[in-house]
Structure 1
Amino acid sequence: MGWVRSINYKIHLYMDDNIKKIARTGYVSKGLVYAITGALAFGAAVGLGGSSEGKLGVLKFLQKQPFGNVLLGIVGLGLLCYAFWRFFQSIKDPENIGDNARGMGKRIGFFFSGLVYLGLGGYAIYQIFKPSAGSGGSKSGMLPPEYLPYIFYAIAIGLATKAIFQFVKAYKGEFLTKFHLDAMSNINTRKTIKWLGYAGMVARGIVVGIVAYFFFRAASSAGSEEMKGTEEAFSFLRQSSGPWLMGLVALGLICYGAYMFIMAGYRKFKD
């Protein structure tokens, strides 16, 4: 029955290749979202007419461009691919992260990351097909007010943990092991991967940390009007430290977007 084993092996390789393609497609879409977020925020910082509206603002920006719905659909499907890859990492553990405390922590993080990008991808697709006219339905009253502080504290803790994790990843440089840099002959490629990764992760950690701070504040007041995201994080940077720090962080997010593109092209997967 050797031919059966051969067929099964080929099917296994085919499925692995498909999952890798899905992951790489997801990295490209995630990189595009971060690069545009950073570019728009940098334009706002230096007075070139950009904006700092965050990920949802990027999706709206894409929709306003020529063939906007086509662009939005492509990015939305790519983000859904990234969500699938995160869920696959969390549940199937294809790279043997393990079931110990550290490994499970990473896999739980992958799962929640998948939820975030599932929401973004779903939102992008929804924007294409949603009715043009609003049909009522207020968002208020969806959650009992007494539950809001607990929800906001949970989100704040999760975001703060994510921010710390970004700084730790940048400090330890463990993310570089995904590329097998020692096997790369081009020294300029190795340097580019390193510095884009370091700059992007630090910038992302700063923005996520500020958003976590806003959610802590929202939890203390239990007012949904206090909820703030990436747009307000950039505004906070601009108001507290001037446009230059905001511009540097925006450039860092552009670097993180470029780093995601490099992930799509150079990341090594464990078979």
Structure 2
Amino acid sequence: MDLSSAAKQAHHSDALDHAVRAGLVAYGLVHLVIGWLALQIAFGERKTSASSTGAMHALADQPVGAVLVWLVALGLLLLVVWRLLQAWQGHRQEDGADKKRKQAASLLKAAVYGALGFSALKVALGDSKSGSGTDGLTAQLMGMPGGQLIVGLVGLGVLGYGGHHAYQGISDKFLEKIDGEGRSGDTGTALRVIGKVGYIAKGLAIAVIGGLFGWAALTHDPKKSGGLDQALQRLADAPFGQLLLVVVAVGIACYGVYAFARARHLSRS
């Protein structure tokens, strides 16, 4: 059996279904913790880091926390494998530009899961730093030829990614990711509300990150960029910021609950 045939077989296997479910549980747990940390920021705990790394540190501080972080890292790695297989062997029903777009989306999601998994792995190996280091990365990009334009394009890309999340929530497109049982009856009604709130809130948080990158590009100041933690801090400082941040925090937690439900009612078709 050649490599392509083996990958195709793996992509359609029950084992991958189990792996994806495990990964989605890990992904959901991360979002629940980030939602909790964001609530703490809303109520005045500004030293809290409501980022993926902050979430990993919060998990590590719990009983059997080291085991939890290792399991989260493994689960996120399984999601990376899934998305890479999907980019390679999936989207067979599509062709042309639509297929390339969906393959690119699968690769982007693999990169997102990989970044989260890397954060979990660093914490599991004893990294004590909780900062995102985004301004350092932005400074490196700024120092490249055309760096200001690159940072601006990154901001636009992140803004678009956030907008896509919000669109998924507004349009109920996220329901396509769960099976028929999960879309019907009282379960379907509950998941529609939870998923809608989760996708829109997460989209808003991501869009703020994109805005921070865009502002950094316009002002040529890397320190004005930021990751999720900085975005939530900025929301807290906005007019009606506490209320807005509470809504976003609850929404991010809802996204985590939706990930659990998606693991239960998985549809990879």
Q: TM-score range by the shorter chain?
A: 0.7 to 0.9
CA contact (8 A) 1:41 1:50 kept: no
CA contact (8 A) 1:43 1:50 kept: no
CA contact (8 A) 2:41 2:233 kept: no
Q: CA deviation at 1:227?
A: 2.3
Matched, 1:70 2:74: no
Task: For 2:57 and 2:35, locate their aligned partners in 1 and report how far apart those are by CA, in whole Å.
Answer: 15
Match 2:33 to one of 15, 18, 36: 36
CA contact (8 A) 1:26 1:85 kept: no
CA contact (8 A) 2:60 2:68 kept: yes
Aligned pairs for 1:135-214 (under 5 A) are 145-147=143-145, 148-181=147-180, 183=181, 187-214=185-212
- Tell me the alpha carbon deviations over residues 138-188 of structure 1, each in whole angstroms, 9 at most, x when there is no partner: x7886671343243223212211111211221222122123243x569622
Aligned pairs for 1:1-271 (under 5 A) are 12=9, 16-47=13-44, 51-93=48-90, 96=92, 98-129=94-125, 145-147=143-145, 148-181=147-180, 183=181, 187-240=185-238, 241-270=240-269
Task: For 1:160 and 1:97, locate their aligned partners in 2 and report how far apart those are by CA, in whole Å.
Answer: 29
Task: For 1:146 and 1:78, locate their aligned partners in 2 and report how far apart those are by CA, in whole Å.
Answer: 35
- Tell me the alpha carbon deviations over residues 118-139 of structure 1, each in whole angstroms, 9 at most, x when there is no partner: 1221232233335789xxxxx7
Q: CA deviation at 1:203?
A: 0.2
Q: CA deviation at 1:202?
A: 0.3
* Partner residue, 2:133: none
Q: CA deviation at 1:13?
A: 8.2
CA contact (8 A) 2:19 2:78 kept: yes
For structure 1, which segment, 186-195 or 204-213, has the greater mean C-alpha deviation from structure 2 after superposition?
186-195
- Tell me the alpha carbon deviations over residues 30-73 of structure 1, each in whole angstroms, 9 at most, x when there is no partner: 11111110111113313578835211211122222333322211
Secondary structure of 1:146 counterpart: coil
For structure 1, which segment, 214-223 or 47-56, has the greater mean C-alpha deviation from structure 2 after superposition?
47-56
Task: For 1:253 and 1:31, locate their aligned partners in 2 and report how far apart those are by CA, in whole Å.
Answer: 9
Identity of aligned residues (%): 26
**CA distance change for structure 1 residues 132 and 243 in 2, over 3 Å: closer, same or farther?**
closer
AA paired with 1:195? V
CA contact (8 A) 2:162 2:202 kept: yes
For structure 1, which segment, 123-132 or 206-215, has the greater mean C-alpha deviation from structure 2 after superposition?
123-132
**CA distance change for structure 1 residues 31 and 174 in 2, over 3 Å: closer, same or farther?**
same
When normalised by structure 2's length, the TM-score is 0.83
Secondary structure of 2:98 counterpart: helix
RMSD: 2.9
Please identify the structure whose Cα radius of gyration is greater.
1
Task: For 2:141 and 2:38, locate their aligned partners in 1 and report how far apart those are by CA, in whole Å.
Answer: 32
Q: How many residues align?
A: 254
AA paired with 1:99? D
Tell me, which stretches of 5 or more residues in structure 1 are unaligned? 1-7, 134-138
